[in-house]
Amino acid sequence: MTSSSTTSLPGLSADDSLLLLRASAELSFSSLLITGPDHRIIYANPAFCRMTGYSEDELAGQNPAMLQGPLTEQSVIDKMRNALDKRGSFTGSTINYRKNGRPYLVEWTISPVRDDHGQVRYFLSIQKDITQLQAEQSTGNLFAKAIDAAYDGIFITNQDGVIEFANQGFEIITGYAPNEVVGSKPSILKSGKHDKTFYKGLWRHLNAGLPFRAMVTNRHKNGDEIHCQQTITPVKNAEGRITHFISIIKDMTDRVFEELKLREQASHDPLTGLLNRRGGEIELDVTLMQALEKESPFSVLMADIDDFKAVNDTYGHATGDDVIRIVADILMDETRKTDKCVRWGGEEFIVLLPFCDRSKAMEIAGNIRTAMAGTDIPDVGRVTLSVGVAESGPDDTPASILERVDQQLYSAKNKGKNRVVAD
Q: Among 110, 129, 122, 109, which Cα is nearest to 48's?
A: 129
What is this structure's pTM?
0.45
Active site residues per annotation: 347
Q: What pLDDT was estimated at residue 6?
A: 45
Q: Among 345, 343, 340, which Cα is nearest to 300's?
A: 340
Q: Among 335, 296, 260, 305, which Cα is nearest to 413's?
A: 305
Q: What pLDDT was estimated at residue 420?
A: 96
Contact 385/303 with Cβ under 8 angstroms? yes
- Rounded Cα distance between 404 and 389, Å, is 8
289 to 222, 300, 354, 359, 398: CA distances (angstroms): 39, 14, 11, 21, 10
Amino acid identity, residue 298? F
| Structural domains of the chain in order of their starting residue, each with its CATH number | 14-135 (3.30.450.20), 150-253 (3.30.450.20), 268-422 (3.30.70.270)
| Consecutive 10-residue averages of pLDDT for the chain (423 residues) | 52 68 77 91 93 94 92 88 83 90 88 87 90 64 68 89 89 91 92 90 90 92 92 89 92 75 77 91 90 90 95 92 95 93 95 95 96 92 95 92 96 95 92
Q: What pLDDT was estimated at residue 423?
A: 86
Residue 269 has φ and ψ, to the nearest 5°, of -80, 125
User: Is residue 368 classed as helix, strand or coil in its secondary structure?
Assistant: helix
Q: What pLDDT was estimated at residue 5?
A: 43
Give 269: exposed, middle or buried? Use CB within 10 Å, 0-12, 13-18, 19+: buried
